Amino acid sequence: MLRLREHRPGTLTGLSEFLFHRTGSMIGSLSQLIRGAAVLAIEDGSERITEELLTLVPVDYAAEQSEKRTTPAKRTTRRRHAA
């Protein structure tokens, strides 16, 4: 129940896709990630949770392994040159 002065309602729902993949869709990992980000937000004085801040918080082993399975593969596009 940490209250962050600068955190705006809806911020986390806007990051839902990122949070899903970062935690491997594991609720316990999500809770730990948000709690860790809130602590960092208080410590650095920003008082808000951002995607950048969430990337600084380490996730547990289970989320790490699950994240590998849920993160979409990055697409590489090759350009064809006209002959």
- Which of the four pLDDT bands, split at 50, 70 and 90, describes residue 75? very low
Tally the domains of the chain. Answer: 1
User: Looking at the domain assignment, is residue 28 inside a domain?
Assistant: yes
By the 10 Å C-beta count (0-12 exposed, 13-18 middle, 19+ buried), 32 is classed as: middle
Q: Determine the structural domain holding residue 63 and report its residue range.
A: 11-67
Q: How many CB atoms lie within 10 A of CB 63?
A: 22
Q: In this predicted model, which residue has the larger pLDDT, 66 or 43?
A: 43
pTM: 0.72
Give percent of the chain with pLDDT exceeding 70: 77
Helix (H, G, I), strand (E, B) or coil at 59: coil
* Within-domain flag for 48: yes
Q: Give a yes or no: residue 75 inside a domain.
A: no
Is residue 83 domain-resident? no
